[in-house]
Structure 1
Amino acid sequence: MAQPNPAPFDAIVLGAGAAGMMCAALAGQRGRRVALIEHGEEPGRKILISGGGRCNFTNLEAAGDRYLSQNPHFAKSALSRYTPQDFLALVERHGIAWHEKTLGQLFCDGSARQIVAMLLAECAKGEVALACGAAIADVGHGDGLFRVTAGGRAYAAPSLVIATGGPAIPRMGATGFAYDLARQFGLKVVQPRPALVPLTLSGEEALFQSLSGVSTEVIARSGRISFREAALFTHRGLSGPAILQISSYWRHGEQIGIDYLPDQAADWLLAAKRVTPRATLRRLLRDALPERLADTLYDQIGLDGDLGNLPDRALTAAQARLADWRFTPNGSEGYAKAEVTAGGISTADLSSRTMEARRVPGLYAIGEAVDVTGWLGGYNFQWAWASAWAAAQAL
C-alpha cells in the first residue's frame, strides 16, 4: 500500500516538553509550518509536577556560571539573548499570577497547568500541528529533508529539533531517545548521569539513616563547589536542596563535606570554653541543631564533660569536624528520583548561537537533551526557554 505524501512542514520538533513547546510556538509565530510530536498522551508532563505542582518556571539569577557543561561558556549566548525577564513578560501577558520564593526562584501562585496552558496557547497562535500519543517509529535524513514516522503518520521537513529531554523521571515517560538520535547523526554524547538527585549512604554512615526526616540548614561541599541550603536526612541517605545541588558535581567514590554550623565562627568552641566553661558540647549542639541530629553528632565526636575540662586540641578537632563532616556516598537514588539529567548531546557539536548541529545542517538540539545542566531552582526551565528561543530564531 502506498504511503501518503509527507506533510509539507518547515520544521519538526520532537518532544512537547518545556523546550519543545516553546521552540515550536516561537517558530510557528515566525511563520514557520511546525509539527510538534510527543510520544506521551499529553504535553508538558514534567512541567506539571515541577515545583510541587506550581512550576518554578525561572530564576532571576540565571547566568552562565549557574550551569554545568563540558563547555562552561556554551550556555551564555542563549541565556543572554532570552532572559528570565523575557519569559516573565510572557507569563504576565497571559495573566498568570506569580511570586518569588527564595534565591530568585519564581513560581506560579496557582498551578503548573497554567504554564502548560500558556505554552499550548502560544503553539495555537503559531498554528503548530501538535500530535500527542505519537510514538516515533523511524527518523531518517536524505535529499535535504528529515523524515519522521510517528503515530502511523509520515512527516518531512528540512529542519528537525531534538527536544526529547533526558532519562530523568522515567515514570513521566522520560528516555534516552535523544542520545540515540544524536548518535545516529554522528553527534557525540557526554555520558549522561542523574543530577539534582538524593545521595545514598551505607556502611558506618548508615547510622545517619536513623535521623530520617530531620532537616537543617548546612553548607554542602564537593571539591571547590559549595551550596548553603537545607539538607534532609532520609532512610536511604541525604537529600534536601543543598544535597541535590551538590549531587550534580559529585562523582562516585568522592567525598562530600557538610558544615553543620555555617553561622559559627571558626573558634566558637574555644570561645564557649572561655565564656561558659561549665557548658557541654551536647548542650551547645542541641541549642543550634535539631535534637536528634545534635545527639548523633555528639555521640560520634565523643567529647564528654564540661568544656572547661576539655583540652583545646580536642575542641579544635571537634570544631573542624563539625565544619567539614565527611560522607562518602555509595551512589544516588538514580534517574527515578533525579530532577534532571547531567551530560547529554555534546555542545562541541552544536552552535551556541542557534543550537544547530555543526556538521548536520537543519538538525538542532535544545533543552535537557543537551549537555547543559542548571542548578536547582528554575535554572533548567530558563535553559529550556532560552535554548528554544535561540533555535526558533534560526528555523
Structure 2
Amino acid sequence: MQSFDVIILGAGAAGLMCALTAAKRGRRVLVLDHADKPGAKILIAGGGRCNFTNLECAPERFLSENPHFAKSALSRYTQFDFLEMVTRHRIPYHEKKLGQLFCDDTALRILRMLLDECHDGAVDIRLSHRISDVARGDAFRVVTDKGVFEAPALVVATGGPSIPKMGATGFAYDLARRFGLPVVTPRPALVPLTVAEDDLTLMRPLSGVSADATAACGRTAFRENILFTHRGLSGPAILQISSYWRPGEAITLDIAPGTDAAAHLIGRKQARPKAELKTVLAELLPTRLAQALAEQRLPQGAMATLTDKALRAAGDQLNRWQVVPSGTEGFAKAEVTAGGIDTRALSSRTMEAREVPGLFVIGEAVDVTGWLGGYNFQWAWSSGWVAGQAV
C-alpha cells in the first residue's frame, strides 16, 4: 500500500491541470492512467496544434442540464489565466478565428508545459496502470494491476467515451454510480450528423464540398462552414449544432446566409433572363452544390421561363432548407461527450461530491459541454484548477 494526499484518475488535460495545481499547494499527488502515454487528446486536438482555449469563453457557451454550474470555475480560472501559463512557458500561439487560440507549431508544447509543471511539483505520474477496484473507507483505496494506492482525496478525470480508439471509456460513470452519483445520459457531441436516404441521394455526390452556411436548431444557430459527407453533414456549423440537436428534430440550413435568396433570384431573372437557374445559383453557392440542387430539388430551365412563385420557392430552399438527421456518427467521431456525471451532485466551487467527501469529478466526465473552438479545453483547465485548490 502506497499513500498520497491526492489520487487523480486520468492523465489528460483536466487531470494534469488538477495535479499541478494541487502540487503547488504542497500536496503529494499521484496520477494514474491506463494508457501508456499522457495527454492523448491534447496531442490530436486542433489538427495537432491544440486549440487550447478561446478568448471569448463565457458560461453561456457551455451546455448542461444545470446551466449555471460552470460559472464558478470559469470565473475563478479564466482563459487569460491559462494564457498566462502558456506565455510564461514561451509557447508561440495565434488566434485563428472566433477567438480560437492555437499553438504555432505543435500541441506537444502544451503537453510538455503541463508535464513540466507537474515535474516541478513532484507529481508522481504512473501510466499503464489498469484499475480493478476503487473503495472508500478511512481513505480512498485504488487497486491496480501494478499496486494498491490510498489517499483521502480522489479525483475522477477519466473523461467520457468519445473517440474510443484513443482509449476513452465510460469508466467515470461506472465509478460515479458505485458511489451513488447520478449520471445524465451521455451522448455524442460536436459530432457529424447522418441523414436519411432521400437527403443522402443529394448529399452523397457532394461529399467533400464545403459551403458557408447557418445551421439552426430551435432558437440556436451557428454560422460557419458546413461539409457534405458520404453519410450526411459535417463541418464546424454542423458540429456546433449537433450538441443541441435531439433525435427526431429538424435542423434548418441557410446556405445563402446574409442574402434574401428569393429576392436575388427574382432580380437575376430580370438581369439574366437567358441564364439557367443552376448558373445563377452558382453566384451564391459552390458550383457542385448549385448544380445538384438545380437538378434534383429545383425547377429546370432558363430564368425567363420560371415564375416568380417558383423562384420564391427556390429561394426558400436556399434560406430555409429543412433536414431531419437520422442520427449521428456516434462516439467514434464525436469530439466530446455531452451529459455525464450530474452536476447537481457536485459543488460548483470545488467539484467535490456533496454526499461523498473527498471525491471530486472534473473535465469531460462532468455534465458540462462547451462549444467547438477551445471551450472544452478551458473547462478542463478551470474545473481541474478549482479541484486542485480544494483537495
Which position in structure 2 is the counterpart of 1:340?
Answer: 336
Which position in structure 1 is the counterpart of 2:37?
Answer: 42
Which position in structure 2 is the counterpart of 1:3?
Answer: none
SS at match of 1:385: helix
* Deviation of 1:135 (Å): 0.7
Distance 2:289 2:82 in 1: 41
SS at match of 1:287: coil
Tell me the TM-score normalised to structure 1 length.
0.96
Distance 1:341 1:54 in 2: 21
Which position in structure 2 is the counterpart of 1:195?
Answer: 189
- The answer as to 2:28 corresponding to 1:20 is no
* Deviation of 1:279 (Å): 3.9
- The answer as to 2:275 corresponding to 1:243 is no
Distance 1:351 1:284 in 2: 57
Distance 1:137 1:301 in 2: 57
SS at match of 2:102: strand
Distance 1:324 1:151 in 2: 56
Deviations 1:189-213 (A, max 9, x none): 0000111111112321111111111
Letter aligned with residue 193 of structure 2: L
* Deviation of 1:274 (Å): 4.1
Distance 2:132 2:371 in 1: 34
- The answer as to 2:287 corresponding to 1:297 is no
* Deviation of 1:46 (Å): 0.7
Which position in structure 1 is the counterpart of 2:140?
Answer: 146
Which position in structure 2 is the counterpart of 1:205?
Answer: 199
Deviations 1:225-253 (A, max 9, x none): 11111111111111111111111111112
Distance 2:105 2:336 in 1: 23
Which position in structure 2 is the counterpart of 1:54?
Answer: 49
RMSD (CA atoms): 1.2
Which position in structure 1 is the counterpart of 2:78?
Answer: 83
After TM superposition, the runs of 4+ consecutive aligned structure 1 residues lying more than 6 A away are none
- The answer as to 2:171 corresponding to 1:177 is yes
* Deviation of 1:158 (Å): 0.9
Distance 2:288 2:264 in 1: 21
Distance 1:305 1:38 in 2: 63
Which position in structure 2 is the counterpart of 1:9?
Answer: 4
* Deviation of 1:276 (Å): 4.0
User: 1:218 aligned to 213, 217, 233, which one?
Assistant: 213
Letter aligned with residue 138 of structure 1: D
* Deviation of 1:345 (Å): 0.3
Consecutive unaligned residues of structure 1, counting only runs of 5 or more, are 1-5
Distance 2:321 2:303 in 1: 21
Consecutive unaligned residues of structure 2, counting only runs of 5 or more, are none
Which position in structure 2 is the counterpart of 1:137?
Answer: 132
Aligned residues, how many? 389
SS at match of 1:358: coil
Check the 8 A contact 2:190/2:372 in 1, yes or no: yes
User: 2:315 aligned to 307, 314, 319, which one?
Assistant: 319
* Deviation of 1:275 (Å): 4.2
Distance 2:271 2:282 in 1: 18
User: 1:164 aligned to 158, 166, 177, which one?
Assistant: 158
Range with bigger deviation, 16-25 or 229-238: 229-238
User: 1:253 aligned to 248, 254, 263, which one?
Assistant: 248
Which position in structure 2 is the counterpart of 1:67?
Answer: 62
Range with bigger deviation, 6-15 or 381-390: 6-15
Deviations 1:343-387 (A, max 9, x none): 000011011111111111111100000000011110000000000
Tell me the TM-score normalised to structure 2 length.
0.97
Distance 1:216 1:119 in 2: 37
Distance 1:331 1:16 in 2: 32
Distance 2:75 2:265 in 1: 46
SS at match of 1:288: coil
Deviations 1:129-174 (A, max 9, x none): 111001111100012x111012321111111101000000001100
